[in-house]
Amino acid sequence: MRDETGTPPGEECLDLGVSEDGHAAKIRELKRRIAELRARLPRHSAPTVMMVELDELEDDLRRLKSELDLNNK
């Protein structure tokens, strides 16, 4: 079941319209979540749902870093 923002329970929505400090905090959080997920991945036959989550987190991280770079120019 999703909340009024469409986000599944337990998942936070990334707000990309934040300050530079907010970007840094979100980048740290994404890196932490990526590292945590990678630590849980089995060496062989990783579940598809985990791989999809990893791809989404890495995409969010790339997008956020790109936005931060654009704001610094």
Tell me, yes or no, if the pTM score tops 0.75: no
3-51: per-residue pLDDT in tens?
444 444 444 444 445 567 888 899 999 999 999 999 999 989 999 999 9
Contact residues for 4 (Cβ-Cβ < 8 A; gap 6+)? none
Domain assignment present for 41: yes
pLDDT at 18: 57
Domain assignment present for 64: yes
> How many domains does the chain divide into?
1
* Among 62, 64, 60, 73, residue whose Cα is nearest residue 21: 64
What's the domain range around 38?
Answer: 20-71
